[in-house]
């Protein structure tokens, strides 16, 4: 398992002490459809993806863990990796059996999986009964706040980089690139950039960027979506030019980024959306003719949220699973977020 050699089935107790492991087993066995075997496989998968995600973000904890947190979004995991996880300490089981087990875990609502043509991506679902064991971050109170380019750029860049891993295989310098781009945006127009901030240690755990777009760049919202990527690409030229305050020809705002650490999504998604409505209202003072909202869907998990918020799919990409979605600014601002997301 070259992707993360520090974890093998036989060293499971080093990461997850037997007492804590048994607590998770007892908790999962209460779910309908869960057998002992499925439970063991799920816990191993959850632990492996959490550690792999931590390693990617250069935040690997020291064993033993005091609780499991959820990976930040999608994490690569091949059937070969899953087979070693599930059956590495047994003589039976291979890639095909591991694939069938992953399908079963997905059918039970424990994970989501997708294949982008090159690799399998898996996302652990933040089930309510598991959140109480996620004692690394769950108790923290969070609130929307201004984006501080001096303090927030690096942690937000690391958070966003995990969202683009499947698009860019060489992710070593991606956080550095994203951090510089965010600071460049903030130097031009920071009002549309907001974070979700923990109240205890001030760390940002979510982010969105509402990017006012110059009239000359609007045509790109009707081009193939892959041409609208910038944070994850190596090209220096940004395909979209930012409009500056007072630009009466600016009619479009690009939801250029929207991401919340999965630990806080249920707790804070509504408040961050309400904050986005307030931010748009403030932006209208700088751009009086702001009418149109566009967003670029990169992961299926965000497509459902956009659909619930009234965004409509406009165009797909011929090469990548990306597509544009559109919503009118006025209609977005009229939404009762607490009502539609309850």
Q: Which residue, 276, 282, 292, 269, is CA-closest to 340?
A: 269
Strand order in the sheet with 120-124: 75-76, 120-124, 111-115
Q: What integer pLDDT is reported at residue 135 of this predicted model?
A: 44
| C-beta separation of 207 from 259 below 8 A | yes
pTM of the full predicted structure?
A: 0.62
Cα 244 to its chain centre, rounded Å, is 29
Q: What integer pLDDT is reported at residue 9 of this predicted model?
A: 63
Q: What integer pLDDT is reported at residue 235 of this predicted model?
A: 56
Q: CB-based contacts of 7: which residues, under 8 Å, 6+ apart?
A: 1, 15, 47, 48, 51
Q: What integer pLDDT is reported at residue 231 of this predicted model?
A: 65
CA distance 195 to 246: 25
Q: CB-based contacts of 4: which residues, under 8 Å, 6+ apart?
A: 48, 51, 52, 55
What pLDDT tens digit does each residue of the chain (342 aa) get?
Answer: 445 555 566 677 788 888 888 888 888 887 777 888 899 999 999 999 988 888 887 777 888 888 888 887 888 888 888 888 888 767 666 788 888 999 999 888 899 988 866 788 999 887 766 665 444 444 578 999 999 999 999 999 888 876 665 454 444 457 888 899 999 999 999 999 999 999 888 999 999 999 999 999 999 999 888 777 766 555 568 889 999 999 999 999 999 999 888 778 888 999 999 999 999 999 999 999 999 999 988 766 678 889 999 999 998 877 777 889 999 999 999 999 999 887
């Amino acid at each position: 398992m070259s992707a993360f050699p520090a974890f093998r089935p036989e060293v499971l107790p080093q990461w997850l002490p037997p007492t804590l492991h048994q607590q998770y087993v007892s908790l999962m066995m209460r779910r309908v459809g869960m057998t002992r075997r499925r439970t063991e496989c799920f816990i191993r998968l959850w632990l492996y993806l959490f550690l792999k995600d931590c390693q990617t973000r250069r935040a690997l904890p020291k064993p033993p863990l005091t609780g499991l947190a959820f990976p930040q979004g999608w994490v690569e995991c091949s059937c070969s990796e899953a087979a070693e996880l599930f059956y590495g300490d047994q003589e039976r089981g291979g890639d095909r059996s591991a694939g069938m087990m992953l399908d079963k875990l997905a059918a039970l609502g424990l994970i989501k999986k997708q294949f982008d043509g090159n690799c399998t991506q898996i996302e652990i679902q933040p089930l309510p009964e598991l959140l109480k064991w996620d004692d690394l971050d769950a108790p923290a109170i969070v609130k929307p706040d201004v984006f501080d380019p001096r303090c927030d750029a690096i942690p937000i860049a690391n958070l966003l980089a995990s969202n683009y891993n499947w698009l860019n295989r060489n992710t070593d310098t991606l956080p550095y690139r994203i951090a510089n781009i965010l600071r460049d945006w903030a130097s031009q127009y920071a009002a549309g950039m907001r974070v979700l901030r923990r109240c205890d240690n001030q760390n940002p755990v979510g982010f969105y960027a509402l990017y006012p777009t110059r009239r000359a760049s609007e045509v790109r919202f009707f081009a193939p979506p892959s041409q609208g990527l910038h944070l994850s690409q190596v090209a220096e030229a940004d395909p979209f030019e930012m409009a500056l305050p007072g630009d009466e020809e600016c009619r479009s705002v690009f939801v250029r980024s929207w991401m919340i650490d999965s630990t806080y999504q249920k707790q804070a998604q509504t408040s961050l959306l309400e904050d986005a409505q307030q931010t748009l209202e403030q932006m209208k003072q700088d751009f009086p003719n702001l009418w149109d909202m566009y967003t670029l869907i990169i992961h299926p998990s965000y497509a459902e949220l956009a659909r619930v918020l009234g965004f409509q799919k406009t165009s797909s990409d011929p090469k990548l699973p990306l597509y544009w979605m559109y919503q009118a600014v006025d209609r977005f601002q009229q939404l009762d977020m607490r009502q539609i997301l309850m």
